[in-house]
Amino acid sequence: MAGEGVVSIGKEQAVIKAGEAVPVFLNEVHGMENQAAADWELMIAGVARTKWALDTTDVP
């Protein structure tokens, strides 16, 4: 993992970089954005509530 970016959870935002982790709980609105010119490489691990179901919600 390399680079850094901004993670938003609800109304909070934080810059994260290599070696850091951010827990996101079920039903929390969240997003990630690379605001730098360099690539941002990150790992995302997720757990679904129901096997083979994709939990997504459209947020305006």
Sequence-separated (6 or more) residues with CB below 8 Å from residue 53 = none
How high is the pLDDT of residue 7?
94
Residue at token pair 């947020």: 59
How far is residue 7 from each of residues 26, 49, 51, 53, measured CA to CA in Å? 16, 22, 26, 24
CA distance 32 to 34: 7
pLDDT in tens, 3-60: 999 999 999 999 998 889 898 888 889 999 998 899 999 888 877 777 777 766 776 6
Strands 12-17 and 4-9 come out as antiparallel
pLDDT in tens, 49-59: 777 777 667 76
- Please give the model's pTM, rounded to 2 decimal places: 0.70
